[in-house]
């Protein structure tokens, strides 16, 4: 469980790394929604619009106290966001070291990358979506199986929450699984058994926070969550004109995509970015501060 | 080497006598340089070790609140407050966003724009929040009122519940905040104890 202080987590968010560059490259889907807000005081100023240092300190102290109370759910949400990313830091460092003109070159990675099979990719996608549901409920204080509230709230998603969902659809859906990824995941989930779920590494990590008494109930929730959010995702794709080609074209400034199969690109991005953790920390900090300014 | 008669030959001064002084001098220079480098390295180490660890203004709060409860046991559930919030109308919609222990919050939207946030907080979890109203000279709907920064206006209902409206869009004025504070069911909230 995360025990690091919230202000250090927010202060330590990188201003520029592969994750932020990839997220900026996806900005065209939700123009102007996401700015990479880093630093605890800067976040308090941006969220509340206040500038008085004494007031900012007071708000920050209340936010610290709320985060430190494990019963409030914020620490569990942070843990979920960071666990689901499973970043390969060695590879991330290598990727940073192997850039030419800011573009990641493949030379050193080829032997380290194994694209996920479609079945694993599809299941991981639905687990990441279930993680968003669980974290949303923990942060906002809504019962963990409130899929209806989550779906309603998705329509209101903005800023870092929206870019996280855009990245999920683009990097974990469209790039590795293709334009029919929603159909593919639907069919995969209908053929998934509780035993299959138990064998999944990501599920093993986060299952405690997926509502349900056992794997069968948790699988049911994961399936329902995917079905209920599918239309929101297909609307997002349709409205923004999001296609594999557009994503690839925008990412080509970051990753050398010449003659590379997209499942390799997806695997590289999966192993070198932590967009769930990065934007999840930002979402959590925003909500926490919005609460804190009302509790002083 | 054959030296022709009359040819000018340059002989290093140290070689004039056995060559030893020059070699000794070079060795001494090397030693001094080595000692100097070592001294520099030690100074660097020392200054790194003695450099102050970067402190945060929140370190004290972190130390006192780690493992502590942030809400009082008597704090009411956030869900208990929802029915006292203003209702949506033709121009504005009230969208609930947070429902935590002793706290509920909604966003006030005008079409798609977030113009303000509305909240109710049970101050039993932070008595300082209630104490500030003792110095209040303003009233809204008969309740003591205060400003929280430049963007918030709040009132204390029944000496316990802090109701606050905070501006999100510049067009939403302090007067609008008072109007929306009055739109809560304050009498109903006052009975909730």
Please name which of B125, B117, B116 lies closest in space to residue B161, comparing C-alpha atoms: B125
Question: What pLDDT shows up at residue A106?
Answer: 75
Question: What pLDDT shows up at residue B152?
Answer: 98
Cβ contact A63:A288 at 8 Å: yes
Please name which of A81, A265, A255, A249 lies closest in space to residue A177, comparing C-alpha atoms: A265
Partner residues linked to B143 by β-bridges: B140
Question: What pLDDT shows up at residue B11?
Answer: 45
Cβ contact A15:A88 at 8 Å: no
Between CA A36 and CA A43, with CA A40 as vertex, the angle to 5 degrees is 50
Q: Which residues of A touch B71 (CB under 8 A)?
A: 69, 71-72
Question: What pLDDT shows up at residue B17?
Answer: 46
Shortest CB distance from A65 goes to which of B65, B107, B148? Answer: B65
**How many CB atoms are closer than 10 A to CB A78?**
27
Residue A115 and residue A107: Cα distance in Å, rounded?
16
Q: For chains A and B, what is the number of CB pairs under 8 angstroms?
A: 107
Q: DSSP code of A137? A: H
Residue B59 and residue A64: Cα distance in Å, rounded?
10
Closest-approach residue (CA) in chain A for B161: A295
Please name which of A131, A129, A130 lies closest in space to residue A82, comparing C-alpha atoms: A131
Q: Is residue A164 helix, strand or coil?
A: helix
B126 Cβ under 8 Å from any chain A Cβ: yes
| Those residues with Cβ within 8 angstroms of residue A64's Cβ, 6 or more apart along the chain or in another chain | A5, A6, A7, B58, B61, B62, B65
pLDDT band at B81 (very low <50, low <70, confident <90, very high): very high
Run means of pLDDT, 10 residues per run, chain A, 296 residues: 84 95 94 95 98 98 98 95 83 76 75 84 94 95 84 91 97 94 96 95 92 96 96 95 92 81 87 94 98 98
For residue B157 the two structure tokens come to 């209902």
CA distance B41 to chain A (A): 28
Ranges A21-35, A129-143, B28-42, B98-112: which has the least confidence? B28-42
Please name which of A59, A187, A82, A63 lies closest in space to residue A128, comparing C-alpha atoms: A82
| Those residues with Cβ within 8 angstroms of residue B83's Cβ, 6 or more apart along the chain or in another chain | B185, B188
**How many CB atoms are closer than 10 A to CB A295?**
25
Question: What pLDDT shows up at residue B45?
Answer: 57
Q: Which residues of B touch A50 (CB under 8 A)?
A: 149-151
B109 membership: H or E segment, kind and range: strand B103-110
For residue B146 the two structure tokens come to 């205060």
Q: Which residues of A touch B128 (CB under 8 A)?
A: 296
**How many CB atoms are closer than 10 A to CB B18?**
9
Cβ contact B120:B162 at 8 Å: yes
The answer on pLDDT for B46 being more than 70 is: no
CA distance A228 to chain B (A): 20
Query: For residue range B136-161, what is the model confidence (pLDDT) as tens digits?
Result: 999 999 999 999 999 999 999 999 99
Between CA A143 and CA A150, with CA A144 as vertex, the angle to 5 degrees is 90
The answer on pLDDT for B16 being more than 50 is: no
Q: Which residues of B touch A70 (CB under 8 A)?
A: 67
**How many CB atoms are closer than 10 A to CB A40?**
25
Query: What separation in angstroms does the CA of B80 have from each of A136, A150, B101, B154, B188?
Result: 20, 20, 10, 19, 11
For residue A282 the two structure tokens come to 């930002």
Total-model pTM: 0.87
């Amino acid at each position: 469980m995360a025990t690091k202080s919230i202000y250090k987590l927010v202060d330590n968010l990188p201003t520029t790394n592969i994750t932020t560059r990839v997220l900026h490259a996806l900005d065209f889907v939700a123009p102007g929604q996401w700015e990479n807000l880093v630093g605890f005081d800067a976040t308090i100023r941006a969220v509340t619009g206040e500038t008085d240092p004494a007031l900012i300190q007071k708000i920050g102290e209340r936010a610290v106290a709320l985060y430190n109370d494990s019963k409030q759910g914020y620490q569990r949400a942070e843990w979920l966001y960071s666990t689901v990313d499973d970043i390969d830091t060695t590879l991330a460092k290598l990727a940073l070291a192997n850039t030419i003109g800011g573009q990641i070159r493949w030379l050193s990675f080829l032997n380290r990358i194994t694209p996920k099979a479609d079945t694993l990719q599809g299941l991981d996608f639905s687990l990441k979506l279930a993680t968003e549901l669980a974290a949303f409920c923990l942060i906002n204080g809504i019962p963990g199986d409130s899929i209806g509230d989550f779906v309603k709230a998705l329509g209101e998603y903005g800023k870092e929450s929206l870019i996280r969902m855009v990245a999920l659809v683009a990097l974990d859906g469209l790039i590795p699984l293709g334009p029919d990824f929603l159909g593919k995941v639907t069919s995969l989930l209908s053929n998934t058994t509780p035993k299959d779920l138990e064998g999944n590494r990501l599920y093993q990590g986060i299952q405690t926070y997926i509502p349900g008494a056992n794997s069968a109930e948790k699988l049911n929730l994961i399936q329902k969550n995917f079905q209920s959010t599918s239309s929101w995702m297909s609307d997002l794709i349709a409205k923004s004109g999001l296609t594999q080609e557009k994503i690839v074209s925008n990412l080509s400034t970051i990753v050398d995509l010449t003659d590379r199969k997209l499942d390799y690109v997806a695997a590289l991005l999966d192993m070198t970015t932590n967009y769930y953790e990065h934007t999840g920390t930002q979402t959590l900090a925003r909500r926490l501060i919005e609460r804190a300014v009302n509790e002083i | 080497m054959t030296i022709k008669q009359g040819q000018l030959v340059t002989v290093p001064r140290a070689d004039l006598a056995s060559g030893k002084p020059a070699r000794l001098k070079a060795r001494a220079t090397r030693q001094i340089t080595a000692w100097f480098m070592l001294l520099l390295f030690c100074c660097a180490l020392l200054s790194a070790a003695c450099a102050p660890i970067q402190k945060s203004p929140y370190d004290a709060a972190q130390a006192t609140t780690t493992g502590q409860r942030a809400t009082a046991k008597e704090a009411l559930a956030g869900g208990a407050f929802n029915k006292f919030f203003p209702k949506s109308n033709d121009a504005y919609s009230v969208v609930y966003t947070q429902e935590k222990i002793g706290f509920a919050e909604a966003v006030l939207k005008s079409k798609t724009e977030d113009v303000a946030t509305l909240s109710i907080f049970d101050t039993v979890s932070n008595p300082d929040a209630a104490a500030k109203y003792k110095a209040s000279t303003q009233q809204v709907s008969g309740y003591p009122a205060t400003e929280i920064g430049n963007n918030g206006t709040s009132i204390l209902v029944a000496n316990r519940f802090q109701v606050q409206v905070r501006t999100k869009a510049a067009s939403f004025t302090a007067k609008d905040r008072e109007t929306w504070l009055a739109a809560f069911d304050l009498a109903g909230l006052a009975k909730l104890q």
